[in-house]
Amino acid sequence: MVARPRPLSGFPEWLPAERIAEQRVLDQLRRTFELWGFVSVETRAVEPLEQMLRKGEIDKEVYVLRRLHADPDSSDSELGLHYDLTVPFARYVLENAGHLQFPFKRYQIQRCWRGERPQEGRYREFTQADVDIVGDGTLAFHHDVEVAAVMADALGALGLPHLTLQLNNRKLIEGFYRGLGATDVGAVMRAVDKLDKARPAEVRALLTAAGLNDAQADACLALASVSATDASFVDDVRALGVRDDLLDTGLEELALVLDGAASIAGERVTVTADLRIARGLDYYTGTVFETRMTGFEHVGSICSGGRYDALASDGDRVFPGVGISFGVTRALGPLFARGLMGANRTSPACVLVAVAAEGTRGASAAVARVLRSRGIPCDVAPAADKYGRQIRHADRRGIPYVWFPSGSGDEVDEVKDIRSGDQVPADAATWTPPVEDLHPSITLPPI
């Protein structure tokens, strides 16, 4: 049907062992999100184009759809593939507000599409895992702490390389700039946001262009250099001498989010207040999050988000939200490409039931059925080859056990651990493999 296909750049696909590792990551994310009471939502893959571009995101490389046999005069509104899970979730909330209970806590794990130039960690098709909490009219601040904590908990359980969750607060930086006397707070924020990519002198020039004098620009750069894993950052900011009510609120909020996330993060996640993080182009109004993966800083933030005072609005009602989005493919793709993450087998089967002769395949299938009824994944050998060949079939897939059904009612079955070569009598109704052999194990990268 198809001939000589080649991979499409930006549309990654995984081999079985990588897929098993990805599944384990997705399972763990779901488990953590559900333990925290977040409910699963999936949205359709498409949104009307005009809604996706409403946010002013004209720079987004949206994939637009047309039906192959569509009537060119059709009045169907143009549809595009969603480029994130926030826009569709906001629309879902508005569309179903009457059927949801607020505050509504949802997680959403789905693919997104962006027609950007592919590079490592940046794909045209990728999976995101988002958590958001959305309120009807108001949403208490403690949900900012909750969202940071659930993601710190989730990320810490994944076994990725060391992660640094970087927190900041828009009120803090906006209050600081205001207290400093800046008139165009947005321009200052956008300038500071360029610190990742531009030289300090260039940022300083942008700050001057935004109307700051040298002392003010210095203060902005000093603020951006503040970073701490505990509340000591509050004193560092106070030492800069700026006073402002919004700044005070921001400092208090950031200290609480930092404490809440740090208290739950495991050894693989460091939580920091990093006052350079601004997420300048997005409409955040309080807490903001970014996350770096050690050794993979070049792929950018793998987990980002923050507080929106209006995640969604239909003019009448306003739905504030706070959320964070983990880039599953962005994090795993580079690990898979370097062979740093995988699985110890390419089959879910724990046991291969051997077949002595095609005429006794039914007996082997019966053994498999008993094992499966007891939750033990197993496969039946595809051909009644010599046993050495059947063992090789298991070995090539990493299946640890080969089961030999007895030749007659008098004999007993035997099971061989093909790693050690140990072969022992066994009864399918009672034999149980060590729990670590039941399912594939995931190979994790070093911390």
Mind giving me the DSSP string for 177-220? HHHHT-S-HHHHHHHHHGGGTS-HHHHHHHHHHTT--HHHHHHH
Which residue from 261, 238, 102, 98 is spatially nearest to 179, judged by alpha carbons?
Answer: 238
SS3 118: coil
Q: Which of residues 263-302 bind a copy of itself (CB under 8 A)?
A: 264
Q: Is the dihedral of CA 233, 234, 238, 239 positive or negative?
A: negative
Residue recorded with tokens 């094992």: 371
Which of 113, 176, 284, 326 touches a copy of itself by CB under 8 A?
Answer: 113
Residues 188-227, mask of contacts with a copy of itself (x by CB under 8 A): ----------------------------------------
Which residue from 156, 440, 159, 174 is spatially nearest to 307, judged by alpha carbons?
Answer: 174
154 contacts 33 by C-beta, under 8 angstroms: yes
Q: Which of residues 114-173 bind a copy of itself (CB under 8 A)?
A: 115, 125, 140, 142-143, 146
Which of 25, 29, 81, 293 touches a copy of itself by CB under 8 A?
Answer: 81
Interaction of residue 447 with a copy of itself, rule CB under 8 A: no
Q: Sort strands 303-313 and 287-293 into parallel, antiparallel or unpaired.
A: antiparallel
CB closer to a copy of itself, 295 vs 348: 348
Interaction of residue 378 with a copy of itself, rule CB under 8 A: yes
Q: Which of residues 324-343 bind a copy of itself (CB under 8 A)?
A: none
Among the residue ranges 95-103, 158-166, 173-181, 242-250, the one whose residues contact a copy of itself (CB under 8 A): 95-103
Q: Which amino acid is at 241?
A: G
Query: Least distance to a copy of itself from the beta carbon of 264, Å?
Result: 7
Cα distance between residue 285 and residue 306, in whole Å: 8
Interaction of residue 70 with a copy of itself, rule CB under 8 A: yes
CB closer to a copy of itself, 140 vs 412: 140
Number of CB atoms found within 10 A of residue 382's CB: 11
Q: Which of residues 3-22 bind a copy of itself (CB under 8 A)?
A: 3-8, 11-16, 19-20
CB closer to a copy of itself, 219 vs 331: 331
Which of 25, 38, 306, 322 touches a copy of itself by CB under 8 A?
Answer: 38
Q: Which of residues 297-316 bind a copy of itself (CB under 8 A)?
A: 310-315
